[in-house]
Every structure is written in structure tokens, then in C-alpha cells.
């Protein structure tokens, strides 16, 4: 815009005077002065230094320049130095028009804590606009009879600059008829007029051409010219006269097109063409095409849009001319009144998003700025949040609000908030606007995993397969991603002194617990262990749960026969007296089962018998009794095969064979070896017979010695037991329940019968045994007696037992 070199230099010198900052600082406000049209990047001042903030602080607190409302960002702050620099060319004329003082208002915003500094930049005018006439040519018609000294108003030149840079004077081309007169009227407008110095003579000069130059007071000076074309007319005596020296009107900014603002009127005393008034409109102060003036009626109408925010008043030159061109001028001042036509605008200046869910109530999460273009109460804005969200607005500085949390946040409940800010101005009617934005909540590892159950119970039957699933635990953690990812592990512990991990393993991410070793109900029946669930947060959170395992019994133990003893191939035979009556107790099978409950309920049955009608066994007690009296015709030898069966699923059983001999005397047994007709035992029997023969010979020798002794001591009584049998009287197994480790203890009461050969001196003794001490040879073996009694008269009864497992 600047014309020549000298001007540039002058402006530069001028700037220097102003750049050295004129800082006015009041209540944190700061102001600078700067001339318009400075280059981009020109330093206005060091705002950091002026506010006493160092560069680091400016960076940390996100220092920024916030220009009001929608206006362009003319200035910015260099974060590395804290300089306030020009960011955009500032044209004072575009910014402030004719206003004598042009101030650019900005705000320096600092966050954490929010701090606001008003920054005003006073923009100084430079003479960058020349005076301009509205038209290139001014046409005038002046009657030839016009008296000397008559004055003719001229439309002045317009200069966009202000003060000294505006129009200061006019220079008229030297001529013989006119001189120039100008005076300063109100509003600093230079009004100029031509004064007739020498009468015109139409016959001499029909036209006069003049050059009018307007000059401003700037340095360098600028000028504008207009040509004045005067047509010399015949006489016309009276000029039109406006009814008022100036007109004033006001109009609301929202006035529709064609609204009549005011009607101007001028009267002319002349008659006919000389008295016909035509109205005209000079150029409007800054913007044209807003008002029209009807040339006939004098009505001023709205033809363009008027906006208080753009232009709050207009000053218009109006003219009234009569038919022959005599004109007079007046001024029309139109004030525009503000109407609440601008809704508040809401700007989100800063927002923390997402917000960590553990922020305390009252934490600032955003800064909101509201702005209303209107003036006075129309620009007073109230701001609020309507929804039921844990956020509120706290009025901060001027039109700034802090968005703060009002409550604790919990991402597990609400992850996203939609916040709508409502701004209402105080106009009538009020205008509102809203702004909606999303706020999300970021996760914090604040929930430990929670097991689905408070304690777990698992049932497993013994002898379970290795690698089979015992049970599974589950836990929920509502946190996000790794903060909610759960891993399971076994807590250290021991079962009967053995680490849990050697019995069980857990799959970390599924919680499935597997068995590494199979369990034995007979060892322990229940145990507990702990499982830990831990999330993957940092630091991780965890919780524990107890799992109780109950081992259930399986029928894995076959009944064991304690009596008759199963070991060896001994020939134990029960002797049944011939005189036995029906129901007499003959023997008893004693068996135990390692299992428990039903699996250990034993039942006894005779599955094979030499004479099925003679003996019976009690199903539950295992007592063998005669069914009827023994008769002479009955066989002497009887074999009973007894099956002992438990009640498990499937049942397990064992059999044993009981040899019975109906006899009162062992000597009645014809062929002892026949007692054992088991093929498997035939060889053994053979050896036994050989042994028996040998022993019998020894016994014979022994008896001979005894007889010899007897002869010597005739007076001594003879005491020989020739037979003995121990018959169990009752069998009472008992378990100590609960500790799972108890050993089976059984108490046995045995009724032992010792029978003499004469059957007259039977007596009985009762003994108690522990199973651990129960000897396998509880009953006397045949061989023992064979040794003792050989073939003597009172030969012992022989019992033979043989048990078989199948
Ligand atoms: C998990 O929580 C921590 C704080 O405890 C947080 O820093 C992290 O971002 C969270 N992770 C995710 C994936 O949200
Ligand atoms: C879980 O048990 C372990 C071992 O007894 C213990 O160290 C830990 O503190 C427990 N954790 C919780 C959350 O109770």
C-alpha cells in the first residue's frame, strides 16, 4: 500500500518509537502499541518477560493467544522465547474503520490453573490510504446571473485513514472565476465549497473545467483529485432548503428491507422547473448500498442488510437540487440499535479426554469459553450443563468456565459421557445455543478378580485317571484389557505333608484344575487347597478362594477273609459233634473289607456244599449252623464253599472252603488224606501223610518214654488236651471316621473251645485280639496235635482250613 521509499523509511522511524513497548499493566492486563501493516513475524513485545513468566512455564501451561470470538488470529506467541508476534497483516481500516482509536483485544490463556491475561494491542494508523473522491468528475450547473460571492457545496474527498492522515485540505486549480473555501464541520469532516469570485458569462464560457486536489496530513502526503465540470446556465434564483439542518433517525438492526427510515424534505421557492426538488444521496460513510433515497419523495429506505455488529451508525450526506441544479446539502445520521440476533457461541478451549477413572471430584477436565456478538445485556451469557452427568461448569474468568467433575467416576459403570453445554444470553427473547461433546473414562486397575463362588467344592471318586479335570474355578474382573485379564495359580500348601502341586495342576488362563496323581480314599478322604486369581494390571490385584475336595469311595477292595486264614494250604477242619442238634453253631467266617459304606457291607453265602440240607450260613454274621439234627446216616466229611460278597458296584467277592468233620473222635476219620480232595493239594497231602507217619513214629517213641515215666510216678494225675479249637464269637469292625488317615482297627472276641477227648471236661475261655496281632495260626494245626497226641486214646480233633481267592 505504501507508495515510495521515503515513506517506508519514515514509517520505520515512526515504528521504532512505538515498538519500544508502551506497556500498561493493570490487574494482569497488558497492552502494546503497534502500527498497522507490519510484516508477519514482527515482534511486538516479550509477553513472557512482561508477565514475569519464564519460557518453560509458558510451554508447560500451554500458553496461547485467544482472539475474541471469530476474529482472525492476528497475533501469536512464540513458545521458545515468549515473544508476541504478528501472525497476520493488520489493516487498521478494515479492523476499525473510522474509529479514532483502534484496539485489538486478545487474551493470553494459561492452563493449570486457568489464568487469563487481557492483552490489548493499540493499532496505530499509517498513511496508507490516499484521499478519494466519490466520482471522477463533479458536474455543476451554475446560472450566469449568479451573484459574486455565491457558494457551491462540493462533496468532499474521503480518506480511510484517520487523524492527520485523513483529508487535511483542498487545493483548487487556479482560475479566474472561483476560489475555494473549506471549513471543518462537526465530525471532523472537511466541508468545502466553491465561491464565485467573478460573474460567469454563459456567452463567454459555456463550460468551465477545474481540477480539485484533496491532500491529507500524512507523511508522506497523499492526494486525490477530481475534475469539476461547470455548465453555465441561465438564471435560477432560489436554492432548495432542507427542513432540518441535519436529520437523525434510528433503526433496529433486524429491520426488513424497504423499511422507511426517515423522510427528508426540502422546499424551493422557485416555480416550475426551478422549484422542482430532486433528492440525492452522497456516498455513505463507509459502506454503500444500505440505504436509498427516493429522489422524488425524500423517503430513506433500507435496501441492504444492516448489522449492528458491523456498523452501529451511518452518516449520510443528502442533497436537494432544483431543476436547474441549485443544490443544498444536509446530513442524515442513522443509528442502528442492537437486537438480540446473535446466539452465544461456545468454544471448547481445552479438554482432557479420556479422563482417568480415579480422578478426585472437583478435578478440572476442560475449559469452555462463551462469546456473544451482541452488546449490553444481549451479550450476557449464562452457561450450564443440563444432563445428569457428573460434571459441572464453574465460572472462571470473564466468559470462561471450568468443566470439573462433581463425583467419582467409574469406568465399569459408565465408559462414555455425552456432555451438552447450554448457553443462554439475557436478551429478550433470549437466544440459546448448545455444544455437545464426548468424554470417555480411562481404565484404572481398581477391581480385583472376584471368584464366581465364595468357596468351591469338588467331588472325585478315588482311583481317578491322571490328567482328568477335578473342577474349574472362574473369576470376573470388570477392568479393561490387561487390567481385567485373570490368571489362576495354586497357592502353596500341603496335603498330608505333600505339596499340593504334586497332586494338582491348574491351567492359568482357564482355571481348570487337573489331577496329577490319583487319590486313594483309603489314604485320605478330603482336603482343601487355595487358588489365587490375579489380574495383569500394574500393580496387579488378586483374590483367593478355597477349594474343598471330597474323595468318594469306590469298591476297589475285595473282602478279605480273616478266618479261616487264607494263607497256606493248611488243612483246618472243624469238628462237628455227632450229637449236634439243629441250630448248633459250627463255625464262623470272618471277613473284612477295606472300603467303606455300602462297599464294605458283606454278605455270606454257601455256594457249594456236600450235603446242601445240613448246614446253613447266616447271611450277615457268617455264622455256620446245622439245619437239623445230625443223624447216623449223614456223611462224615463235608466241604462248604462260602462266598463273601460286598455290596459295591460291581460287587467283589471271595470264597473260602471250610472242611467239616462229623465226628466225636479224630480216630474215626478213616482216610485223613481224603479230607483234602483238592487236586492242587494232593501232593501236599502226600507230604503231609509222610510227615504224619514220621511224626507218629516219633510220638510212639515219646509215648513209650512217657509210659516209662508213668510207671515211675504212678501217683501223678494225667492231663492231656487232646483237642482244641478257637471259634470267634463276635466280629466287630470299627472305623474312626473323619481324619481320613485312621488305620482300620478291629476288635475280635474269640470264644475258644478246648475239648477233651472225653468231652466231659469242656471249658471255655475268652480272649481279645487286635487284628494286627491276630496270628495266622490262631487255630491249632493238625500237625501240632499229631506231635502231641499221636495215636493215643484221646486223639485230637483235627481242623483243616483252606481259603482261595478267585
Ligand atoms: C490399567 O490400569 C492402569 C492404572 O492402574 C492404567 O495406567 C492403564 O492404562 C490401564 N490399562 C488399560 C488397558 O486401560
Ligand atoms: C492369598 O493367599 C496368599 C497366601 O496365603 C497371601 O499371601 C495373599 O496375601 C492372599 N491374597 C489375598 C488377596 O488375600
Ligand showing the shortest atom-to-Cα distance for residue 545: 2
Residue 759 contacts residue 577 (beta carbons within 8 Å): yes
Task: Decide if pLDDT at 550 tops 80.
Answer: yes
Q: Where are the domains of the chain?
A: 24-124, 236-339, 345-442, 450-552
Task: Decide if pLDDT at 411 tops 90.
Answer: yes
Q: Please give the pLDDT value at position 767.
A: 35
Sorting pLDDT into bands at 50, 70 and 90, what band is 347?
very high
Q: How far is the CA of 635 from the centre of ligand 1 (A)?
A: 94
Q: What is the per-residue burial (b if ≥16 Cβ within 10 Å, else e) of 294-321?
A: eeeebbbbbeeebbbeebeebbbbbbbb
Q: Is 44 left (phi over 0), alpha (psi -120 to 50) or beta?
A: alpha
Question: Which parts of 389-442 fold into alpha helices (H)?
Answer: none
Q: Please give the Cα distance from 605 to 619 (Å, whole number).
A: 6
Range 236-339: architecture per CATH: Sandwich (2.60)
Averaged pLDDT, 161-183: 84
Rounded to 5°, the CA angle 502-504-508 comes to 120
Probe ligand 1: pick from 357, 441, 445, 449, max atoms within 8 Å of CB? 445
Q: Which residues contact 475 (CB under 8 A, 6 or more apart)?
A: 449, 450, 451, 452, 486, 488, 511, 533, 543, 545
The total number of residues shown for the chain amounts to: 806
Residue 223 contacts residue 134 (beta carbons within 8 Å): no
Closest by CA position to 662, among listed 761, 590, 587, 570 = 587
Averaged pLDDT, 153-167: 81
Q: Please give the Cα distance from 345 to 369 (Å, whole number).
A: 8
Q: How far is the CA of 799 from the centre of ligand 1 (A)?
A: 85
Q: What are phi and psi of 691, to 5 degrees?
A: -60, -40
Residue 579 contacts residue 586 (beta carbons within 8 Å): no
**81-95, 204-218, 276-290, 522-536 — most confident range:** 522-536
Cβ–ligand 1 distance for 141 under 6 Å, the answer no
Question: In 41-114, which ranges are E strands?
Answer: 43-46, 64-67, 75-78, 83-86, 102-110
Share the mean pLDDT of the chain: 78
- How do residues 308-346 score in pLDDT, each as one tens digit? 887 888 888 888 888 777 788 888 899 999 888 889 999
Closest by CA position to 194, among listed 215, 217, 216, 170 = 170
Name the closest-CA residue to atom 3, ligand 1: 444
Q: Please give the Cα distance from 657 to 563 (Å, whole number).
A: 11
Task: Give the single-character DSSP code of 56.
Answer: H
Q: How far is the CA of 545 from the centre of ligand 2 (A)?
A: 9
Residue 405 contacts residue 357 (beta carbons within 8 Å): no
- The reply to whether CATH 3.90.1260.10 applies to domain 24-124 is no
Q: Please give the pLDDT value at position 118.
A: 84
Name the closest-CA residue to atom 2, ligand 1: 444
**What is the SS3 assignment for 767?**
strand
Task: Choose the weakest-confidence range: 187-196, 254-263, 567-576, 724-733.
Answer: 724-733
Probe ligand 1: pick from 355, 357, 481, 537, max atoms within 8 Å of CB? 537
Q: Please give the Cα distance from 472 to 248 (Å, whole number).
A: 93
Q: Please give the Cα distance from 200 to 178 (Å, whole number).
A: 10
Cβ–ligand 1 distance for 535 under 6 Å, the answer no
Sorting pLDDT into bands at 50, 70 and 90, what band is 68?
low
Q: Please give the Cα distance from 12 to 18 (Å, whole number).
A: 10
**Kind and range of the H or E element at 254?**
none
Probe ligand 2: pick from 542, 545, 546, max atoms within 8 Å of CB? 542
Give the per-residue SS3 of 590-637.
EEECCCCHHHHCCEEEEEEECCCCCEEECCCCCEEEECCCCCCCCCCE
Give the per-residue SS3 of 688-737.
HHHHHHHHHHHHHHHHHHHHHHHHHCCCCCCCCCCCEEEEEEEEEEECCC
CA torsion, ordered 305, 307, 310, 312, to nearest 10 deg:
120
Question: In 426-485, which ranges are E strands?
Answer: 432-442, 450-451, 455-461, 469-472, 475-476
Q: What is the per-residue burial (b if ≥16 Cβ within 10 Å, else e) of 519-554?
A: bebbebbbbebebbbbbbbeebbbbebebebebebb
Task: Decide if pLDDT at 103 tops 60.
Answer: yes
What fold is seen in the domain 450-552? Immunoglobulin-like (2.60.40)
Ligand 1 atom showing the smallest separation from residue 481 Cα: 13
β-pairing verdict for 327-337 and 246-252 = parallel
Name the closest-CA residue to atom 6, ligand 1: 444
Probe ligand 2: pick from 477, 491, 493, max atoms within 8 Å of CB? 491
**What is the SS3 assignment for 126?**
coil
Q: How far is the CA of 543 from the centre of ligand 2 (A)?
A: 7
Task: Choose the weakest-confidence range: 94-108, 190-204, 207-221, 680-694.
Answer: 680-694
Task: Give the single-character DSSP code of 24.
Answer: B
Cβ–ligand 1 distance for 445 under 6 Å, the answer yes
Task: Give the single-character DSSP code of 790.
Answer: T
Q: Please give the pLDDT value at position 464.
A: 87
Closest by CA position to 527, among listed 719, 703, 739, 209 = 739
Strands of 381-385's sheet in order across: 355-356, 432-442, 416-425, 381-385
Cβ–ligand 2 distance for 544 under 6 Å, the answer yes
Cβ–ligand 1 distance for 443 under 6 Å, the answer yes
Q: How far is the CA of 491 from the centre of ligand 2 (A)?
A: 8
Scanning the structure block, which residue is given the C-alpha cell 441250630? 583
* CA dist 225 → 135, 159, 213, 241, 352 (Å): 10, 12, 4, 29, 61
Rounded to 5°, the CA angle 364-366-371 comes to 125
Cβ–ligand 1 distance for 517 under 6 Å, the answer no
Q: Please give the pLDDT value at position 725.
A: 38
Task: Decide if pLDDT at 590 tops 80.
Answer: yes
More confident residue, 463 or 766: 463
Q: Please give the pLDDT value at position 299.
A: 92
Ligand 1 atom showing the smallest separation from residue 442 Cα: 14
Scanning the structure block, which residue is given the C-alpha cell 468318594? 552
Closest by CA position to 344, among listed 305, 311, 387, 378 = 378
Sorting pLDDT into bands at 50, 70 and 90, what band is 601?
very high
- How do residues 455-507 score in pLDDT, each as one tens digit? 999 999 988 888 899 999 999 999 999 999 999 999 999 988 899 999 999 99
Q: Please give the pLDDT value at position 535.
A: 95
The class that CATH gives domain 345-442 is mainly beta
Amino acid at each position: 500500500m505504501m507508495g515510495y521509499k521515503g515513506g517506508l523509511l519514515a514509517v520505520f522511524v515512526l515504528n521504532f518509537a512505538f515498538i519500544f513497548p508502551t506497556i500498561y499493566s493493570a490487574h494482569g492486563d497488558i497492552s502494546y502499541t503497534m502500527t498497522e501493516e507490519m510484516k508477519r513475524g514482527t515482534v511486538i513485545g516479550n509477553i513472557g518477560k512482561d508477565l514475569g513468566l519464564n519460557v518453560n512455564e509458558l510451554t508447560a501451561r500451554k500458553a496461547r493467544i485467544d482472539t475474541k470470538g471469530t476474529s482472525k488470529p492476528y497475533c501469536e506467541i512464540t513458545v521458545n522465547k515468549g515473544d508476541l508476534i504478528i501472525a497476520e497483516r493488520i489493516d487498521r481500516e478494515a479492523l476499525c474503520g473510522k474509529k479514532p482509536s483502534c484496539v485489538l483485544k486478545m487474551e493470553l490463556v494459561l492452563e493449570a490453573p486457568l489464568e487469563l491475561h487481557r492483552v490489548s494491542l493499540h493499532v496505530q494508523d499509517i498513511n496508507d490510504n490516499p484521499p478519494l473522491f466519490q466520482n471522477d468528475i463533479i458536474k455543476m450547473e451554475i446560472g450566469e446571473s449568479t451573484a459574486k460571492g455565491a457558494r457551491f457545496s462540493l462533496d468532499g474527498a474521503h480518506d480511510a485513514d484517520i487523524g492527520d492522515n485523513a483529508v487535511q485540505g483542498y487545493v483548487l486549480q487556479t482560475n479566474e472565476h472561483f476560489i475555494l473555501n473549506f471549513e471543518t464541520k462537526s465530525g471532523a469532516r472537511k466541508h468545502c465549497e466553491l465561491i464565485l469570485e467573478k460573474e460567469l458569462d454563459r456567452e463567454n464560457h459555456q463550460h468551465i473545467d477545474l481540477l480539485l486536489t484533496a491532500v491529507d496530513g500524512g507523511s508522506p502526503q497523499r492526494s486525490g483529485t477530481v475534475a469539476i465540470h461547470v455548465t453555465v446556465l441561465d438564471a435560477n434564483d432560489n436554492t432548495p432548503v432542507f427542513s432540518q439542518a441535519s436529520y437523525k433517525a434510528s433503526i433496529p438492526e433486524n429491520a426488513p428491507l424497504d423499511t422507511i427510515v426517515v423522510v427528508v424534505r426540502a422546499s424551493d421557492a422557485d416555480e416550475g422547473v426551478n422549484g422542482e426538488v430532486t433528492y440525492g444521496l452522497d456516498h455513505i460513510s463507509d459502506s454503500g448500498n444500505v440505504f436509498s433515497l427516493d429522489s422524488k419523495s425524500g423517503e430513506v429506505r433500507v435496501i441492504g442488510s444492516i448489522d449492528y455488529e458491523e456498523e452501529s451508525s451511518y452518516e449520510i450526506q443528502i442533497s436537494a437540487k432544483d431543476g436547474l441544479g441549485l443544490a443544498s446539502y444536509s446530513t442524515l445520521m442513522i443509528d442502528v440499535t442492537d437486537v438480540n440476533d446473535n446466539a452465544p457461541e461456545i468454544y471448547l478451549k481445552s479438554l482432557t479426554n479420556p479422563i482417568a477413572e480415579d480422578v478426585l471430584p472437583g478435578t478440572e477436565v476442560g475449559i469452555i469459553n462463551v462469546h456473544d456478538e451482541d452488546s449490553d445485556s444481549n451479550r450476557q451469557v449464562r452457561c450450564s450443563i443440563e444432563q445428569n452427568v457428573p460434571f459441572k461448569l464453574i465460572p472462571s474468568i470473564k466468559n470462561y468456565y471450568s468443566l470439573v467433575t462433581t463425583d467419582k467416576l467409574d469406568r465399569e459403570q459408565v465408559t462414555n459421557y455425552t456432555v451438552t453445554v447450554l448457553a443462554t444470553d439475557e436478551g429478550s427473547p433470549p437466544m440459546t445455543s448448545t455444544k455437545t461433546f464426548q468424554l470417555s473414562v480411562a481404565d484404572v486397575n481398581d477391581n480385583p478378580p472376584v471368584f464366581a463362588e465364595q468357596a468351591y467344592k469338588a467331588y472325585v471318586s478315588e482311583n481317578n485317571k491322571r490328567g482328568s479335570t477335578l473342577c474349574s474355578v472362574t473369576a470376573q474382573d470388570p477392568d479393561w484389557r490387561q487390567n481385567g485379564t485373570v490368571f489362576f495359580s495354586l497357592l502353596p500348601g500341603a496335603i498330608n505333608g505333600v505339596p499340593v502341586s504334586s497332586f494338582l495342576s491348574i491351567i492359568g488362563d482357564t482355571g481348570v484344575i487337573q489331577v496329577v496323581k490319583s487319590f486313594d480314599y483309603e489314604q485320605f478322604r478330603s482336603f482343601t487347597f487355595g487358588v489365587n486369581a490375579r489380574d495383569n494390571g500394574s500393580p496387579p490385584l488378586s483374590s483367593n478362594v478355597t477349594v474343598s475336595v471330597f474323595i468318594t469311595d469306590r469298591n476297589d477292595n475285595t473282602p478279605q477273609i480273616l478266618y479261616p486264614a487264607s494263607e497256606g494250604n493248611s488243612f483246618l477242619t472243624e469238628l462237628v459233634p455227632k450229637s449236634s442238634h439243629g441250630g448248633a453253631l459250627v463255625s464262623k467266617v470272618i471277613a473284612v473289607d477295606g472300603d467303606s459304606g455300602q462297599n464294605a457291607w458283606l454278605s455270606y453265602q454257601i455256594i457249594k456244599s456236600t450235603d446242601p440240607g445240613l448246614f446253613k450260613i447266616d447271611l450277615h454274621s457268617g455264622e455256620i449252623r446245622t439245619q437239623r439234627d445230625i443223624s447216623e446216616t449223614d456223611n462224615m466229611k463235608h466241604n462248604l464253599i462260602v462266598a463273601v460278597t460286598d455290596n459295591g458296584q460291581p460287587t467283589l467277592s471271595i470264597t473260602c472252603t471250610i472242611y467239616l468233620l462229623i465226628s466225636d473222635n479224630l480216630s474215626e476219620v478213616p482216610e485223613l488224606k481224603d479230607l483234602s480232595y483238592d487236586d492242587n493239594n494232593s501232593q501236599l497231602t502226600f507230604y503231609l501223610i509222610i510227615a504224619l507217619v514220621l511224626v507218629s513214629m516219633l510220638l510212639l517213641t515219646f509215648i513209650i518214654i512217657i509210659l516209662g515215666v508213668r510207671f515211675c510216678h504212678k501217683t501223678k494225675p494225667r492231663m492231656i488236651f487232646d483237642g482244641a479249637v478257637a471259634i470267634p464269637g463276635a466280629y466287630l469292625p470299627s472305623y474312626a471316621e473323619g481324619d481320613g488317615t485312621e488305620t482300620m482297627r478291629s476288635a475280635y472276641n474269640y470264644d475258644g473251645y478246648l475239648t477233651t477227648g472225653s468231652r466231659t471236661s469242656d471249658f471255655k475261655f475268652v480272649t481279645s485280639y487286635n487284628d494286627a496281632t491276630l496270628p495266622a495260626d490262631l487255630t491249632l494245626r493238625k500237625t501240632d496235635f499229631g506231635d502231641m497226641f499221636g495215636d493215643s486214646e484221646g486223639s485230637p480233633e483235627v481242623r483243616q482250613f483252606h481259603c482261595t481267592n478267585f
